[in-house]
Amino acid sequence: MTQRRPRTQHLLTVIRREQIRPHMVRLILGGDGFEGIEFRDHQAESSGERTPCTDQYIKLLFADPALGLQRPYDMEALREELPVEQMPVTRTYTIRHVDRQLRQIWVDFVTHGDQGLAGPWAENAQPGDTISFFGPGAGYTPRSDADFHLLAGDEAALPAIAAALENMEPQARGLAVLEVHDAAEELPLNPPAGVEVVWLHRGGDFTPEATQLADYLRTAELPDAEENDIQVFIHGEREQMKLIRRALVEERGLPRKGMSLSAYWAYGRAEDEFQAEKKTPVGQIDPA
């Protein structure tokens, strides 16, 4: 039996905190731990050329402050000492930007007051605070040979979509659809001239009744999928991803193979529940 390779836990320090939108905080993280991070890239099949992935995600670790644990956490030792319910838990976030010159990464957090773990931590983070994480992992980068790019998502997908738009070829064509609370939550983006950006405003926090993303994509104007190579990157709430897969694949005929379409979160679920359900029928985007 092959022994599982232990994951490397990286430790970085908060350099700066920025309130970039009413419900979004950006933390600039850096320090000596930057050198040990293996950032992900993608190899183009046609040229063999490697380019940075734009959806690099990390799994931030959080523990009960009352336990007084020191970062980086010795996970193996803690499994021997703590009950399962007291073990550090992970929260997944996309790296918005990698600054190799300054040895820093940017991570954007959607915040909802005191809800959750990572959001409240980011709201109160101060320079000098530390954070540890596993990763990054990744799997997507915009292909230069794609005829058209379709990107869509809610606030959770905004960092990855913003990074993708910045890394597209100048001649790229496409459509990016972004659903947020309201106009105050829109971020400045830097898409190629041929990529249209559409903002959808729910007028409040996400609910299944208020969301507009799946309905918009069901009728959005797209090139003929039989004659054009359409690269798809769509991420967001789980039930909406199921509706969008059905709309694009079953109703509109886009090929499922090659799509980066999956759930970043699930309405009414903490991340621990959401991750556990991925192995069950309710957690599957594609029908069995």
Q: Are 13 and 30 in contact (CB under 8 A)?
A: yes
Handedness of CA 182, 183, 188, 194 (dihedral sign): positive
Predicted pLDDT at 190? 96
Task: Give the integer Cα–Cα distance in Å for 237 and 5.
Answer: 31
- Per residue in 50-95, pLDDT (tens digit) is 678 999 999 999 999 999 999 999 999 999 999 999 999 999 999 9
pLDDT at 1: 42
Helix (H) or strand (E) holding 239: helix 238-245
Q: How far apart are CA 66 and CA 111, in angstroms?
A: 23
**CA 198/CA 179 separation, integer angstroms:** 8
What is the CA 263 to chain-centroid distance, rounded? 9
pLDDT bucket at 5, cuts 50 / 70 / 90: low
So what's the pLDDT on residue 136?
Answer: 96
pLDDT value of position 116? 86
- pLDDT score, position 2: 43
The mean per-residue pLDDT over the stretch 168-189 comes to: 97
pLDDT in tens, 94-118: 999 999 999 999 999 999 888 889 9
Average pLDDT on 11-25 reads 97
Q: Does 16 have pLDDT greater than 70?
A: yes
Q: What pLDDT shows up at residue 126?
A: 97
For 101, how many CA atoms within 13 A lie in the half-sphere containing its CB?
0
Q: Residue 139 — very low, low, confident or very high, per pLDDT cuts 50/70/90? A: confident
**Number of H helices and number of E strands within the chain?**
6, 13
**What is the model's pTM?**
0.93
